[in-house]
Amino acid sequence: MIRRAWPLAVLLGGLALFFGLGLHRQISFETLRDNRAALGELVERWGLIARFGYAALYAAVVAFSLPIGLLLTIAAGFLFGAYQATVVVVVGATLGAVALFLAARTALRDVLMAKAGPFVQKLEAGFQENALSYMFVLRLVPLFPFWLVNIVPALLGIPLRVYLIGTFFGIIPGTFVYALVGNGLGAVFDSGGEPDLAIIFKPEIIGPILGLAALALVPVVYRTIKSKRA
């Protein structure tokens, strides 16, 4: 029982530490703006190590489900540029998501199933038949919190390989959009403005993403039509 409970204890402990130390107030766009010069020097000095370190930090944030992922994605774009930031964030987010997935699939499964029962049951049938397609859609379209999409597939018994592929490729478009926002953050700071966090919902942005989601659902539609004709 203790072995099965320790991942939950670690997760709750990480959340308690994060909020207890007031990090949710210290990690902000204002902090990034006020320390932009020092952070830029660190990135330039440490080069590749800084990028690996940022990916590790992002993995920890995702694994502990800390509510600063969006801020860190934009900050990555600010520090590393849009393209490098996308690689750093996607790698870090995928590693963190896999860690949480494995914890949810083993030690946390019984606890989480008891809490999320009806919601999970609604998704179970679709996931069992078209797991990869549903993973792509859930990752591409920001309808549900990232931490929730990390956990639900584990409760439904989705294979790790499918989860890994769906997560890695599914989060690339949204990550790139917010990395672009971060890449222009210097100009936003100079003008005294605020970054547009709702940019992903603009038609010119969400349109192509929804197109990719529709493409991911093609196998689901095909199987449905085929089963009705059989």
Residue pair 113/120 in contact by the 8 Å Cβ criterion: yes
The model's pLDDT over 33-91, given as tens digits with 9 standing for 90+, comes to 888 889 889 999 999 999 999 999 999 999 888 888 889 999 999 999 999 999 999 99
**Residue closest to 168 by CA, chosen among 89, 103, 55, 100:** 89
What element of type H or E holds 108? none
**Residue closest to 17 by CA, chosen among 56, 69, 61:** 61
3-state helix, strand, coil in the chain (%, to 5): 85, 0, 15
The model's pLDDT over 168-179, given as tens digits with 9 standing for 90+, comes to 999 999 999 989
- For residues 227 and 147, what is the distance between their CA atoms, to the nearest angstrom? 33
What is this structure's pTM?
Answer: 0.82
As for how many domains the chain has, the answer is 1
The model's pLDDT over 136-185, given as tens digits with 9 standing for 90+, comes to 888 888 777 888 888 888 888 888 999 999 999 999 999 999 898 888 88
Q: Note down the domain range covering 73.
A: 2-229
Q: Which residues contact 176 (CB under 8 A, 6 or more apart)?
A: 82, 86
Average pLDDT rounded to a whole number, residues 111-131: 64
What 3-state class would DSSP assign to 182? helix
**Confidence bin at 14 (pLDDT 50/70/90):** low
